[in-house]
Chains A and B, each alone.
Chain A
Amino acid sequence: MTGDAPLLSRVADSVYWMARYIERAENVARFIGVNLNLQFDLQLDAERQWQPLIDTSGDTEVFKERYRTANQNNVIEFLTYDAENPNSIFSCLRTAREDARSVRETISSEMWEQINGMYLRIQANNQMPERESLPEVFRSIRLGSHLFQGITDATMTHSEAWHFARLGRKLERADKTSRILDVKYFMLLPSLKDVGTPYDDIHWSAVLKSVSGFEMYRKKFGRLHPRDIVDFLVLDREFPRSLHYCIRNADESLHAITGTPMGAFQWPSERLTGLLRAELDFTSVEQMLRDGLHGHLDVLQAKMNAIDAGLSEDFFARAPEEIASATAKSSV
């Protein structure tokens, strides 16, 4: 669809991961920021409050190897500054910058300068700061990511490479929203005695704030209710961090890249994305809760991982001979 300028497979790969890692850093920063705020309202022991963040990141094993207890200090260190943790904010920004550096000729100079600036700032301040400056650290990372997305949309041609960046960003976002919901739901729901109490409200609002969704949820549903929160975070058609919204965007970008009409597929990754989108288009909260939310979210995450692997196979990592024969076939 996008004119004649070809996009190298390696470049597409790097642009995709650059966007994913910036989005990942933003999400980690938001999770920590919300949790910092939460501790004043809850009288939880440190472990119960901070362990879920590690579980959300999916790096529970790595954490256990390197730290003994999940207290505030250890968790923030691990998720923010730990250069050995590949998914710490520092590592995310470093990897995003490496990717950006390897495709500087493809992205705009403004994008590069923004990523480079974010990385240089965290590199210069790579130690845990005073307690009172922590919220500002996470705020600036969130804003840095928003700025990067704005710059990307405003300065880069919305051609193939841009769509790969959007794909990466949306898949990452959907994955993180599903994880925070999964971990919190799992943690919160068993304590049925709390249902309807102020503590319950605080927990659930924290989930929504973790994806910047609290205010938007209020407008739509008013009172906090687990069923509506699941509806909002998974199936909402308009909230930009809901799974449904993100997967729809990803599906659009993928079709923009391939030129295949919507609703059809040529590539395995297109088929997987279309299937997931259709599921989110037509499923209901009741169905999800009936099946068990945890199990359901697990399956959704597995499907997103399969899309990621499919993209790699279809666009990033094919051997030249294979491409040659595919090209020959398609031109017949």
Chain B
Amino acid sequence: MPFAQYQTDGFYDEMFDPQGAARAEARLLLETVESLDEGQLQRCQRAAERLLLQLGVTFNVYGDSAGTERIFPFDLIPRIVHAGEWSWIERGLKQRIRALNEFIDDIYHDQKILKDKVIPEEVIRSAIFYRPQCVGINPPRRVWCHITGTDLVRHGDGQVYVLEDNLRVPSGVSYVLENRDLMKRTFPQIFEGLHVRPVDDYPSKLLETLEAIAPPSSWQKSQKPTVVLLTPGMYNSAYFEHSFLAQKMGIQLVEGRDLAVLDGAVWMRTTKGLRKVDVIYRRIDDDFLDPQAFRPDSLLGVPGLVEAYRAGNVALANAPGNGVADDKVVYAYVPDMIRYYEGEDPILPNVPTFLCWRDQDRQHVLQNLDKLVVKSANEAGGYGMLVGPHSTAGEREEFAGRIQARPRDYIAQPTLALSRVPTLVEDHLEGRHVDLRPYILYGQEIQVLPGGLTRVALRKGSLVVNSSQGGGSKDTWVLADDGPHDASFGSQSQMQSGRPAGAR
């Protein structure tokens, strides 16, 4: 029995309640897994891994020699989200994206939120991803955040929190689609009796979103606009996803060298001459997008692209400049943005955040380095981070020095006891920590892909779920309807931190 020795170890378990009974939405799954023949789970797991390699579902590892590819480890036991909880998450995400979008539009126009002193002007002026080049730009429909991959985590108190917004070039959605496909191919019996919401329509929705933001002029010839996906190339860590999405949408996958700007418009070089491009889903960071506007040494980008964009001759998704709201100091103010722009209380809470540039917060952080997680304000992928309880005295000292030298660059949060999901370890199941990244599209309207990417820290006890650091993924099942379930979701935060620490 794979669950014979299973322990929740005092963590919030997505499958079992604290008494060790299966949660209502997980009961059927548990029965199926328990009824499997000896070794069947492992056989399915191995078949899935073989399939991933054969299909070439891989990511490139930086720091390894060029072209080194690995499969993103996949675990067969899905994470289940019941319908009631999902509808709450979905409402929370939509509210958050609306507010963030208004914030970015405001920041590059009137800056009302700064004038009204809801956010200190200094915070924006010192944000390294604030782009003066974007001031005054009016993207189609005034949408800036077309594709977002918000990171959610559930803490030991049962509450789901927003950890990061990922407004720039979030990746991982291809694994959501591939994981589901893999489950259907290698473990079909597990779906028995459950109505899991499909994810396969994501590429269609994404294409709709991209077409919706095409410059009005591109519709004139009663032709559909030409949409392309811009990739840095096949050595990029997310290249698989770029080609996967282009293929599923039936659009061209282009590199910077395939594009040229002539007479203020963007063209791609084809065997039949130049073709005009109307919408670019770019998977290149702002910095590398256009050597004339941003980093002059970029070889990946297209000279003149930003001017063509500013002139309204081409649409870019996501809009350049979004990164200003990915700054973890700005993140701390998102609940205030929601209140300011939407006149509502936030549905999804932030993780309480200490801002080291404030003297009081910094004192608290420096005194509690062994309890807190310290993060660099502008690094992603689990880099530039100190997990206090797992750190050495030397590391804490190093971070204390860094915080004092550059307080603006650091924030701290309580160490979260991320929830766990049963995960196959050799021949049995053990709890492993997970997060959840839903994907939100914003073209004509805001749509949320049901589920998202559940990343799992495969190393025992580890809280780091990033693929570059020993993370894997699971299929995420959003149930279409709930039977009776425990109604613990959405309850008020019980998280106790040193002192109240929102943005204000």
Contacts and interface: CB of A to CB of B under 8 A. Distances in A.
B381 interface: no
Contacts of B262: 320-321, 324
Interface stretch (A98-106, A191-199, A273-281): A98-106
Interface stretch (A7-15, A27-35, A128-136, A215-223): A7-15
Contacts of B234: 98, 101-102
Interface stretch (B251-259, B315-323, B346-354, B426-434): B251-259
A160 B274 contact: no
A11 B268 CA distance: 12
A315 B273 CA distance: 9
B48 to A, nearest CB: 16
Interface of B is mostly: mixed
B108 interface: no
A327 interface: yes
Given A8-B268, A117-B54, A101 B243 contact: yes
A6 B56 contact: no
A332 interface: no
Contacts of A116: 54-56
B275 interface: yes
B56 A101 contact: yes
Nearest to A101: B234
A8 B270 contact: yes
Contact of B270 (A7, A101, A117): A7
Interface residues of A, number: 32
B136 interface: no
A8 B274 contact: no
A113 interface: yes
B267 interface: yes
A103 B233 CA distance: 11
A109 B181 CA distance: 14
Contacts of A101: 56, 234, 239, 243
A46 interface: no
A104 B244 CA distance: 8
Interface in A57-115: 98, 101-106, 109, 112-113
B258 A98 contact: no
Nearest to A327: B273
Contact of A9 (B67, B233, B243, B270): B270
A7 B271 contact: yes
B258 to A, nearest CB: 5
Nearest to A314: B271
Q: Which of A6, A8, A113, A164 has the most CB of B within 10 A?
A: A8
A316 to B, nearest CB: 8
A250 B43 CA distance: 47
A326 interface: yes
Contacts of B252: 6, 8, 11, 105
Nearest to B263: A324
Interface string B46-86: 00000001111000000000010000000000000000000
B269 A113 contact: no
B54 A9 contact: no
A104 B247 contact: yes
B55 A320 contact: no
A162 to B, nearest CB: 13
A257 interface: yes
Contact of B269 (A105, A160, A257, A323): A323
A8 B54 contact: no
A120 B52 CA distance: 12
A318 interface: yes
Given A9-B269, A117-B54, A320-B262, A327 B243 contact: no
A112 B54 CA distance: 9
A105 B271 contact: no
A43 B56 CA distance: 46
B254 to A, nearest CB: 6
B258 A10 contact: yes
B271 A160 contact: yes
B272 interface: yes
B260 interface: yes
B54 A320 contact: no
Contacts of A6: 252, 268, 270-272, 275
A96 B492 CA distance: 56
Interface in B214-244: 233-234, 239, 243-244
A12 B272 CA distance: 11
Contacts of B257: 10
B206 interface: no
B246 interface: yes
A156 to B, nearest CB: 13
A106 B275 CA distance: 17
Contacts of A12: 271
Nearest to A94: B67
B267 A257 contact: no
A257 B272 CA distance: 9
Interface string A299-332: 0000000000000000100101101101100100
A308 B83 CA distance: 59
A112 B56 contact: yes
A155 to B, nearest CB: 13
Q: Which of B239, B253, B270, B271 has the most CB of A within 10 A?
A: B271
Interface string B265-289: 0011111111100000000000000
A262 B67 CA distance: 42
Contact of A257 (B67, B271, B273): B271
Contact of A105 (B253, B258, B274): B253
Contacts of B268: 6, 8
B243 A105 contact: yes
A120 B271 contact: no
Contacts of B254: 8
Nearest to B267: A320
Task: List the 3 shortest-distance A-B pairs measured between CB atoms, nearest first.
Answer: A320-B260, A327-B273, A105-B247
Given A101-B239, A104-B56, 10 more contacts: A7-B270, A7-B272, A9-B269, A10-B258, A101-B234, A102-B234, A105-B253, A112-B56, A315-B271, A324-B267
20 contacts: A7-B271, A8-B254, A8-B270, A9-B258, A9-B271, A98-B67, A101-B234, A102-B234, A106-B253, A112-B56, A113-B55, A116-B56, A120-B53, A120-B54, A160-B271, A164-B271, A315-B271, A320-B262, A320-B269, A323-B274
